[in-house]
Structure 1
């Protein structure tokens, strides 16, 4: 299968993604392209540059962490599958749970899961307020203000961890994050442009909020 230059961008920045997984990204694009043309799930501006704005953007989290096999990763307010689906393709031995309250979007994700044979992905149609399962990591992109997001999902984070870093939240943010820095929570900010030298990522950030284990006093 021949891949165009746009999809090769993925391999340029994520060399660990093999040809088999690249083929899945190609199929992913074809599915989204169909729904973009028929039911307008993306704006024209958003869909142009699909691989860069959606796939590479969400895969940038892998520059911070390589999810282990037994990890459980929860994508809250996934919409039509971001950031969960691209990361589930990349880390195909890690379990991903994608939740959203809009049935139409969940149906599209189910089609994607079936077409790509993503056996490591579970989808749930619900609101995070009603979801109680605990996971190692929580993902979010453009769901709500970060401080609100933390309040909603902190109940879902496990304290025992097996990855190289503490369990916690990975949230993809743009420039507006500058207005949230006065909020009282511990975070580490990563500039995506440091990893991916493309203009689109100049003001894009990954914000990691670790959930530190409680140490009992002796």
Structure 2
């Protein structure tokens, strides 16, 4: 059974169709442009889709929320979240052009009208977003320096605007500078698979 359906039961037929399509579309593109390691394709839904959707266990994005996925790679966590929140707007950016080519192709294949893909760096990007999402592209303090200009001042969600960062391991030193503004969720609280034992979601209010 697809592990996504174990934890997300209230999906529409359209969302189920898109989630079912994901692996085939990525497998086809991965043959041409390698964005997901071959061994990871075997655990595609657990390691990539479910990992991305852990953010949806932490927050339900309000309609009209603007989210930017920085260093999106092949489109994670942005694309699975865009399927789950069709009324939120997602901008996926990466400095590597061929990765954005894959993201654009997947977006088109899945007919995701709420996703824009751009080949750019966060430092050069202009725009205001409620949340910056990312799967550990660098240390948190460095990531904050590169991206904090993208955060909109007015919150419209249940939690404060800021960064939602997926990362594993010991984060004590990385979150130290942000003390009171940071919350760390253990993904093992959401999912029982061993893969998630050391994985975390950091919410930093900016």
TM-score normalised according to structure 1 size = 0.89
Q: Which residue of 2 aligns with 1:180?
A: 174
Q: Judging changes above 3 Å, is the alpha-carbon distance between structure 1 residues 168 and 202 closer, same or farther for their aligned structure 2 residues?
A: same
Contact 2:52 2:80 in 1 (8 A): yes
Unaligned runs of 5+ in 2: none
- Distance in 1, matches of 2:86 and 2:175, equals 34
Residue 143 of structure 1, CA deviation: 1.0
Q: Secondary structure at the match of 2:153?
A: coil
Equivalences, count: 205
Q: Which residue of 1 aligns with 2:39?
A: 45
Q: Which residue of 1 aligns with 2:141?
A: 147
Alignment equivalent of 1:166, drawn from 160, 163, 179: 160
Contact 2:140 2:175 in 1 (8 A): no
- Distance in 1, matches of 2:135 and 2:33, equals 22
Contact 2:33 2:98 in 1 (8 A): no
Contact 2:67 2:129 in 1 (8 A): yes
- Please give the residue correspondences for 1:91-110 in structure 2 after superposition, counting only pairs within 5 Å: 91-110=85-104
* Superposition RMSD in Å: 1.3
Q: Which residue of 1 aligns with 2:15?
A: 21
1:59 partnered with 2:53:
yes
Q: Judging changes above 3 Å, is the alpha-carbon distance between structure 1 residues 40 and 132 closer, same or farther for their aligned structure 2 residues?
A: closer
Higher deviation after alignment, 99-108 or 13-22: 13-22
Q: Which residue of 2 aligns with 1:83?
A: 77
Residue 26 of structure 1, CA deviation: 1.6
Q: Secondary structure at the match of 1:131?
A: coil
1:135 partnered with 2:135:
no
- Distance in 1, matches of 2:175 and 2:162, equals 18
Q: Which residue of 2 aligns with 1:116?
A: 110
Residue 179 of structure 1, CA deviation: 4.2
Residue 110 of structure 1, CA deviation: 1.0
Q: Which residue of 1 aligns with 2:194?
A: 199
Unaligned runs of 5+ in 1: 212-218
Greater Rg over alpha carbons, structure: 1
TM-score normalised according to structure 2 size = 0.94
